[in-house]
């Protein structure tokens, strides 16, 4: 049973990765191209300023793969593999939650769990550390930014698990609806406190000016940054929505259309 569920999760994830790639290729990739062009133009302007000031200018590193390969093969393979990994992880979480989060049917649990995956693994960390296109962000802080982003992801998942446990414990006393509201409120408060404690990064390139104060190259386009982040959220939303919607009927076909209850401890140990 476990292997079949994980295989279905991996299949749903691979399909979701492919659909998310199509979305990203249509909407996000042109913005990445614009950001790359901006980065090249800004580097050229910065080199010209450095040369005028008598500073040593290093040579530009050539890309190993062309933009065409990166935009199609690179992103496509990456999204599909990412979707496959997320789908397999989703299936494991699905098996853990099955029968332990109330009287939910297999299809309903799949959709709700996909929503929780999008919320905890992407959207909550995104609110603190949003996606950045090329040329936004300094190379010296990549490691630091990645570490803090990972902290946000892990903490978000942990807070969601604790909120689920809290909701289950409060359900018999306050009812399912009120317990869900209380648990959701606790999750929001915990996330808000963590966001306030973690440092932020504002590294959007500003306008380049020469020694006389004249504008040499403009700052990064705010509209481009906004739309890139919007489509990044959209790609992840598509990914998790497809995982849930594809996995839901597969799980229902395997498990039936009735709520699944957790097996007693003795039966689980014997199995």
Task: Give the chain's domain count.
Answer: 2
Q: Please report the pLDDT score of residue 259 as a whole number.
A: 64
122 and 84 together in one domain = yes
Q: Please report the pLDDT score of residue 270 as a whole number.
A: 41
Q: Please report the pLDDT score of residue 258 as a whole number.
A: 65
Q: Please report the pLDDT score of residue 58 as a whole number.
A: 56
Q: Please report the pLDDT score of residue 231 as a whole number.
A: 96
Q: Please report the pLDDT score of residue 230 as a whole number.
A: 97
Q: Which of 203, 235, 254 marks a domain boundary?
A: 203
| SS3 letters across the chain | CHHHHHHHHHHHHHHHHHHHHHHHHHHHHHHHHHHHHHHHHHHHHHHHHHHHCCCCCCCCCCCCCCHHHHHHHHHHHHHHHHHHHHHHHHHHHHHHHCCCCCCCCHHHHHHHHHHHHHHHHHHHHHHHCCCCCCCCCCHHHHHHHHHHHHHHHHHHHHHHHHHHHHHHHHHHHHCHHHHHHHHHHHHHHHHHHHHHHCCCCCCCCCCEECCCCCEEECCCCHHHHHHHHHHHHHHHHHHHHHHHHHHHHHHHHHHCCCCCCCCCHHHHHHC
155 and 47 together in one domain = no
36 and 169 together in one domain = no
Q: Which of 170, 186, 203 marks a domain boundary?
A: 203
Q: Which residue numbers in the chain have pLDDT < 70? A: 53-68, 70-72, 102, 257-271
130 and 253 together in one domain = yes
| pTM, rounded to two decimals | 0.86
Q: Which of 203, 218, 234 marks a domain boundary?
A: 203
Q: Which domain holds residue 40?
A: 2-136+209-270
pLDDT 10s digits, 139-175: 888 999 999 999 999 999 999 999 999 998 998 899 8
């Amino acid at each position: 049973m476990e292997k079949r569920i994980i295989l279905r999760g991996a299949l749903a994830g691979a399909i979701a990765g492919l659909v998310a790639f199509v979305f990203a290729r249509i909407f996000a990739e042109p913005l990445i191209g614009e950001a790359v062009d901006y980065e090249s133009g800004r580097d050229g302007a910065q080199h010209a300023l450095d040369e005028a000031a008598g500073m040593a200018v290093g040579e530009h590193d050539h890309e190993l793969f062309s933009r065409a390969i990166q935009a199609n093969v690179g992103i496509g393979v990456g999204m599909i593999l990412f979707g496959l990994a997320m789908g397999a992880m989703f299936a494991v979480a699905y098996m853990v939650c099955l029968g332990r989060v109330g009287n939910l049917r297999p299809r309903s649990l799949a959709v709700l769990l996909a929503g929780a995956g999008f919320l905890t693994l992407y959207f909550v960390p995104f609110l603190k550390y949003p996606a950045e296109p090329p040329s936004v962000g300094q190379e010296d802080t990549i490691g630091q930014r990645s570490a803090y982003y990972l902290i946000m992801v892990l903490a978000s998942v942990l807070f969601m698990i604790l909120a689920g446990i809290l909701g289950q414990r409060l359900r018999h006393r306050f009812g399912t609806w009120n317990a869900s509201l209380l648990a959701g409120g606790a999750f929001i408060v915990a996330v808000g406190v963590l966001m306030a404690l973690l440092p932020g990064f504002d590294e959007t390139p500003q306008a380049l000016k020469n020694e006389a104060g004249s504008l040499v190259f403009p700052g990064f386009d705010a509209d481009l940054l906004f739309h890139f982040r919007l489509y990044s959220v959209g790609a992840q939303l598509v990914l998790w929505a497809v995982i849930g919607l594809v996995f839901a009927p597969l799980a229902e076909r395997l498990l039936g259309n009735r709520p699944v209850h957790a097996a007693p401890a003795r039966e689980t140990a014997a199995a």
